[in-house]
Amino acid sequence: MIEQDVVCPFCGCLCDDLEIETDGARIVRVKNGCSLAEATFMNDTRLPAPIRRTEAGWEEISYDEAISETAEILREADRPLLYGWSSTHGETQSIGVHIAELIGAVIDNTSTVCHGPSILAIQEVGHPGCTLGQVKNRADVIIYWGCNPVEAHPRHMSRYTTFATGFFVPEAQRERTVIVVDTRRTDTTNIADEFVQIEHGGDYAVLSALRAIVRGKAHVIPASVAGVAKEQLVRIAEICKNAKFGAIFFGLGLTMSRGKYKNVRNAIELTDELSRHTKFVISPLRGHGNVYGSNEVFTWMTGYPFAVDFARGIAFYNPGETTAVDILRRGECDAALIVASDPGANFPRAAAAHLAKIPTVVIDPHVNATTALSRIHIPCTAAGIDAAGTAYRMDGIPIRLKKVIDRGYPDDAEILRKIYDRLDGGMGP
Amino acid sequence: MRCILNTGRSVPQGTAVEHKLSDVYRSIASACFLNPVDLMILGIEDGDRVRVTTPAGYVILTARPAEGVARNECFVTIGPYANHIISSETQGTGMPDFKSQDADVEPTEEAVKSVGELMEAIGGVRP
């Protein structure tokens, strides 16, 4: 059978034009997807049943047993951490928040180690953004800053920017000017009309210099800023000011390097400065398929987008204190529930190591590095492959993930609902 | 050699990301991309091993040349190898220094560990 218009759940682009051929419970062909999409749909290996770590090694257990034991671990914990959430659908995320509120847990999502600092900047100065459709149809100047879409979002350029035909930009490759800012040369910088190679940690200074030039203060700028020649900065400022519609996309090159959220704030303020001359927008390139959705769901349920602490009985948010890496580094949590993510691989060693010291339960379709650190791993459906649900694209557009096949696994939302039901009654912060 | 450790995504890393305990993932995530001039200065070739040390510890990686990487920078895809030596300090932001960790790179004969071995080193047990 061939299913049309399938949504790929891998990255924040959520490309919704895939064609997938299935043979019973097996996916045999993926059309239109990038190589990340193909790997997501074709190489989907999972555990046959939940596993539990014992003194003698790992043993298979039933779903009922795994769910009861998880509920017991969470019930007995004084400071549980519920982490992950970005590779599953909104329905699961919302039950996660309900559990966190019920047991007074800290709940955090993967934006804490990707665009968390971008959110902090947006909370300071706002987000002049727009949908990807607007960018596709209008933008004649594109800036990729501290990101590498060719590797991380392979179809971003062909669907929305460099190579995409737009209503007001019918000849994309000729009419769009693409500027790429990075510390290293990559396949993305090779496509750029202007490649701005900056020294490590120089983003803040270069953004400030561009703001000054756009303000008409070029005379205060030295001959070189963080390795970038003043002439190039002046040229770029002119390209931007003369744009009909400019769009800046930024990645972890801004959020993870020196300055962190202040880099992003400076980029937003450059956007604001440019909008006094023409129309400019800015947006983060979000990584996980539904990481934007985890921010949406957390925000509408708790008021905060990530790092929410319910220990006080109300939602409390203080990044640096209630963020997952900090809680683990301090050895503060005494149990962890990891859903649809892999902090064992993606957190610094000292933070990941704490997961092995406490009872950690993983609910994830795939075995990952965190499995080795956990006490129980419960396999489940993968949203967008064998489970339907809502995910948010990187520009905040909700898109319904389809169920393409049925592999007989329970939905992670169903597993969490059962855990919630076992906890409910007598519990509470 | 003093370097700045930079990390990021790549297509090979993304295609193997749900198979973290595989040999394919090991070779992708344990590759340390260095400027060819730096490889020459270190006296090593493509495929030789390097010991990368930071205040958080050390890890053995496989050196790979990449002309796009600046001098005195090493690039490792995001994952358990890079994170083995990245500090968990977040300076009050929640975000570790994933892209700007100072590191020492030196040639070594030691072998590259598997992801399972890295997890065992911090108290894990391979499934």
Comparing alpha-carbon positions, the chain B residue that sits nearest to A340 is B18
Q: ∠ CA A194-A147-A10 to the nearest 5 degrees?
A: 135
How far is the C-alpha of A368 from the C-alpha of A372, rounded, in Å?
A: 8
At residue A173, the pLDDT reads: 87
Domain that holds residue A120: 116-284
Contact between B97 and A307 using a beta-carbon 8 Å cutoff: no
CATH of the domain at A91: 3.40.50.740
A284, A318, A346: which is the final residue of a domain? A284
Predicted confidence band at A425 (pLDDT cuts at 50, 70, 90)? low
How far is the C-alpha of B17 from the C-alpha of B80, rounded, in Å?
A: 11
Q: Is residue B42 helix, strand or coil? A: helix
Residue type, A118: S
Contact between B122 and A39 using a beta-carbon 8 Å cutoff: no
Residues A120 and A108 in one domain: no
Residues A74 and A179 in one domain: no
In a domain, A227, yes or no: yes
Cα-Cα-Cα-Cα dihedral of B32, B36, B41, B42, to 10°?
Answer: 20
**What are the chain A neighbours of B20 within 8 Å (beta carbons)?**
342, 345, 367-369
Q: Quote the mean pLDDT of chain B.
A: 95
In a domain, A202, yes or no: yes
Residues A378 and A301 in one domain: yes
Across the range A273-277, mean pLDDT stands at 97
Is A353 a residue whose pLDDT tops 80?
yes
Tell me the two tokens of residue A385: 């492959």
Packed helices A63-76 and A412-423: angle between N→C axes, nearest 10 degrees: 50
- CB proximity list for B27: less than 8 A, separation 6 or greater: B62
Per residue in A20-79, pLDDT (tens digit) is: 999 999 999 999 999 999 999 998 899 999 999 999 999 999 999 999 999 999 999 999
How far is the C-alpha of A93 from the C-alpha of A147, rounded, in Å?
A: 27
Per residue in A4-21, pLDDT (tens digit) is: 999 999 999 999 999 999
How many domains are there within chain A? Answer: 2
Across the range B69-82, mean pLDDT stands at 95
Residues A144 and A293 in one domain: no
Count the residues in chain B. Answer: 127
The two beta strands, A335-339 and A177-182, are: unpaired
Q: Quote the mean pLDDT of chain A.
A: 96
Let me know: does A44 contact A382? Beta carbons within 8 Å.
Answer: yes
- CB proximity list for B9: less than 8 A, separation 6 or greater: A148, A151, A152, A287, B77, B78
Let me know: does A74 contact A337? Beta carbons within 8 Å.
Answer: yes
What is A268-305 written as a DSSP string?
HHHHHHHTTTSEEEEEE---BTTHHHHHHHHHHHHS-S
How far is the C-alpha of A50 from the C-alpha of A65, rounded, in Å?
A: 9
Residues A318 and A405 in one domain: yes
Residues A144 and A262 in one domain: yes
**What are the chain A neighbours of B18 within 8 Å (beta carbons)?**
39-40, 43-45, 365-366, 368
Percent residues over pLDDT 70 in chain A: 99
Q: Choose among A259, A283, A286: nearest CA to A115.
A: A286
Residue type, B49: R
Per residue in A211-220, pLDDT (tens digit) is: 999 999 999 9
A265, A284, A303: which is the final residue of a domain? A284
Contact between B18 and A368 using a beta-carbon 8 Å cutoff: yes
* In B22-113, beta strands by DSSP E: 31-34, 49-54, 57-65, 73-77, 101-108
Residues A138 and A279 in one domain: yes
Tell me the two tokens of residue A232: 């190039």
Tell me the longest C-alpha to C-alpha distance in chain B.
41
The two beta strands, A51-54 and A57-60, are: antiparallel
Taken in order A63, A68, A69, A73, the sign of the CA dihedral is positive
Across the range A171-181, mean pLDDT stands at 94
Per residue in A291-307, pLDDT (tens digit) is: 999 999 999 999 999 99
Residues A136 and A273 in one domain: yes
Contact between B122 and A151 using a beta-carbon 8 Å cutoff: no
The two beta strands, A18-23 and A26-31, are: antiparallel
In a domain, A41, yes or no: no
Contact between B124 and A345 using a beta-carbon 8 Å cutoff: no
Let me know: does A91 contact A390? Beta carbons within 8 Å.
Answer: yes
Q: Choose among A387, A418, A422: nearest CA to A90.
A: A387
Contact between A200 and B19 using a beta-carbon 8 Å cutoff: no
Contact between B96 and A113 using a beta-carbon 8 Å cutoff: yes
In a domain, A36, yes or no: no
Comparing alpha-carbon positions, the chain B residue that sits nearest to A36 is B15
**What are the chain A neighbours of B38 within 8 Å (beta carbons)?**
none
Contact between B80 and A53 using a beta-carbon 8 Å cutoff: no
In a domain, A428, yes or no: no
Is A156 a residue whose pLDDT tops 70?
yes
How far is the C-alpha of A249 from the C-alpha of A255, rounded, in Å?
A: 12
Comparing alpha-carbon positions, the chain A residue that sits nearest to B97 is A256
The reported pTM is 0.95
In a domain, A29, yes or no: no
First vs last Cα of chain B: how many Å apart?
37
**What are the chain B neighbours of A346 within 8 Å (beta carbons)?**
78-79, 83
ipTM rounded to 2 decimals? 0.95
A236, A257, A284: which is the final residue of a domain? A284
Residues A335 and A389 in one domain: yes
- Given B11, B84, B94, which is nearest A325 (Cβ)? B94
Let me know: does A161 contact A132? Beta carbons within 8 Å.
Answer: no
Contact between B127 and A372 using a beta-carbon 8 Å cutoff: yes
**What are the chain A neighbours of B28 within 8 Å (beta carbons)?**
none
How far is the C-alpha of A348 from the C-alpha of A343, rounded, in Å?
A: 9
**What are the chain B neighbours of A35 within 8 Å (beta carbons)?**
11, 14-15
Contact between A346 and B83 using a beta-carbon 8 Å cutoff: yes
Best residue in A34, A187, A260 for a mutation probing chain B (most B CBs within 10 Å): A260
- CB proximity list for A338: less than 8 A, separation 6 or greater: A83, A84, A355, A360, A361, A362, A363, A364, A370, A374
Contact between B79 and A357 using a beta-carbon 8 Å cutoff: no
Q: How many CB pairs under 8 A join A and B?
A: 199
Q: Choose among A421, A182, A366: nearest CA to B21.
A: A366
Comparing alpha-carbon positions, the chain A residue that sits nearest to B29 is A345
**What are the chain A neighbours of B96 within 8 Å (beta carbons)?**
113, 256, 325, 347-348, 351
Task: Give the distance from residue A162's alpha carbon to the nearest chain B alpha carbon, in angstroms.
Answer: 19
**What are the chain A neighbours of B78 within 8 Å (beta carbons)?**
346
CATH number for B2-121: choose from 2.40.40.20, 2.60.40.2140, 3.50.50.60, 2.40.33.10: 2.40.40.20
Residue B60 to residues A170, A260, A404, B69, B90, Cα–Cα distance (Å): 50, 28, 41, 19, 24
In a domain, A4, yes or no: no
CATH of the domain at A198: 3.40.228.10
Residues A160 and A122 in one domain: yes
Per residue in A316-343, pLDDT (tens digit) is: 999 999 999 999 999 999 999 999 999 9
Residues A315 and A260 in one domain: no
Contact between B85 and A38 using a beta-carbon 8 Å cutoff: no
Tell me the two tokens of residue A213: 């030039």
Let me know: does A253 contact A146? Beta carbons within 8 Å.
Answer: yes
Contact between A345 and B95 using a beta-carbon 8 Å cutoff: no
At residue A161, the pLDDT reads: 96
Task: Give the distance from residue B107's alpha carbon to the nearest chain A alpha carbon, in angstroms.
Answer: 23
What is A306-365 written as a DSSP string?
S-EE-TTSS-EE-TTTSSHHHHHHTT--SEEEEES--HHHHS-HHHHHHHHHS-EEEE-S
Q: Is residue A250 helix, strand or coil? A: strand
Residue type, A144: Y
At residue A429, the pLDDT reads: 38
**What are the chain A neighbours of B32 within 8 Å (beta carbons)?**
none
Residues A135 and A273 in one domain: yes
Contact between A325 and B10 using a beta-carbon 8 Å cutoff: no
